[in-house]
Amino acid sequence: MGADYKLGGAIIELKGLDEEGFAKVSRQEKLAVLFQEYEPERPVIVLDRHRLKPKDQARFDRIIEGPIKTAIAKANRQLKQSRAEQTDATCSVLMAINNGYTTLDHEAFKALVAHRVRQDTHEIDAVVVAGAYYHSDGFDSYFLWHIDCIPINLDRRFVEFEQLRTGWNALADRFMTQLVRGELGPNPTKGPVADTQFAVDGITYIRPAPVIGAVSKFYVHGRPRKDSSGLTSCPPVGRTFPAVSRSEWSCLEKLVARPSDMFGSYESWKQVEAQGQAEGEKICPFVTVPITAHDWTTWRSERGEAGSIFQFANERFSQRVHELIARARELEGSRIVPARYVLAITDVIGQDRANDLSHIIIVNERPDGEALSRKVVKNARIFHEHAIALAAAYAVRERVDAVMWSKNLKYAWV
């Protein structure tokens, strides 16, 4: 029942936090309720404590500190008994090692442990918080061996801490030497720290892995990310429909053997177009493509085979979209910005592209420097390349000649 170690005059209780606290379903449900209050429309929500109001930051801490609170309560009882048995002890120390709660980085873990000790016990005079954190992108690897001492009772200081730190550093040196030499077997670590995510009621909640080291000098275009979306090509970004004027309608009727079977009346045609406009989806909008009878017949002649006006409109749309994608430019840093453009903004989130969110905005720059904007897509779960293609589709629909893009890297794994 007593504490684990004695070092000089200090008695030390060692607690390894092996549980990934975010994996508990009841805890996930509480976090979902908390963050839904802030971003009810987002299909992917980042569990960022700093985005919460102060009172809700406290709620967040109480939700995630469950494993820490349990460990401290047990350590308190063990240290209390050892103090009764070791009457010459000068300091009672809790040493908490983050061995599995990898969703929390060292600073967050340290703050939670210190807060709970100050709130829950008078038996602990000092807290040592330590952990070994492994970060890797497949090329660069970082091992961080943190250890800090937090005094709780200033009258009973842990004067032997430097001895403990020396031992911890020696452990780190020994482990790293064995790792480099290949002496620890095929699976010497638990693997690098990764995003932690879960789903509640169809919404994904994610705690991105911390940024590692500096910007990679090997991956010049950014560290590689996985893609669990399952996509191997860009999905359709538009449903096309030939836009025909009444005069062109008359010309087309003369080119078709039985025009009533294909076209019906012009009024019926416009009704179908209106219905398509009403039923268009945000990430696959209904796009009218202007065509003429002359262009259609020229296209058929060049093909050397028959093709409907629907095929013609779709091919024109596809060509235009590819042109816009090829010319798309990043908004930030562009010296010349068009008067009208479609802007694709992507929130890059964590290590998996499937968690990225994108927004499509129609922008009109006014001569007075102000910009009028209209958001046509919000919080779509699509990544950057898909978003640019979708922006191009909207550009065709809106008869806009430019696509710009921007990335929000606040939660990116860079």
The amino acid occupying position 42 is R
Q: Average pLDDT of 286-315?
A: 91
Q: How confident is the model at residue 155 (pLDDT cuts 50, 70, 90)?
A: very high
Selection from 302, 317, 314, 300 nearest residue 256 by Cα? 300
pLDDT at 111 over 60: yes
pLDDT at 157 over 60: yes
Q: How confident is the model at residue 221 (pLDDT cuts 50, 70, 90)?
A: confident
What's the rounded Cα separation, in Å, for the pair 213 and 215?
7
- Position 342 scores a pLDDT of 97
Q: Average pLDDT of 130-148?
A: 92
**Interval 116-128: pLDDT, tens:** 999 887 889 999 9
CB 338 within 8 A of CB 365: yes
pLDDT at 245 over 60: yes
What's the rounded Cα separation, in Å, for the pair 243 and 266?
11
pLDDT at 263 over 80: no
Dihedral of alpha carbons 351, 102, 28, 111, sign: negative
- Position 266 scores a pLDDT of 85
**Which H or E run includes 325?**
helix 309-327
pLDDT at 138 over 70: yes
- Position 333 scores a pLDDT of 83
Q: How confident is the model at residue 375 (pLDDT cuts 50, 70, 90)?
A: very high
In the three-class reduction of DSSP (H, G, I as helix; E, B as strand; rest coil), residue 111 is classed as: helix
- Position 258 scores a pLDDT of 58
Q: How confident is the model at residue 292 (pLDDT cuts 50, 70, 90)?
A: very high
- Position 27 scores a pLDDT of 95
Q: What is the DSSP letter of 182?
A: T
pLDDT at 161 over 80: yes
Q: Average pLDDT of 264-284?
A: 89
Q: How far lies 381's CA from each of 33, 113, 276, 292, 408, in Å?
A: 21, 36, 23, 37, 14
Q: How confident is the model at residue 215 (pLDDT cuts 50, 70, 90)?
A: confident
Percent of the chain at pLDDT exceeding 70: 98
Mean pLDDT of the chain: 92
Please, how many CA atoms are within 13 Å of residue 36, restricted to the half-sphere of its CB?
Answer: 12
- Position 201 scores a pLDDT of 95
- Position 40 scores a pLDDT of 92
Q: Which of 94-98, 258-262, 270-274, 369-373 has the highest mean pLDDT?
A: 94-98
pLDDT at 414 over 80: no
Q: How confident is the model at residue 257 (pLDDT cuts 50, 70, 90)?
A: low
What's the rounded Cα separation, in Å, for the pair 401 and 392?
9
**Interval 49-90: pLDDT, tens:** 999 999 999 999 999 999 999 999 999 999 999 989 988 999
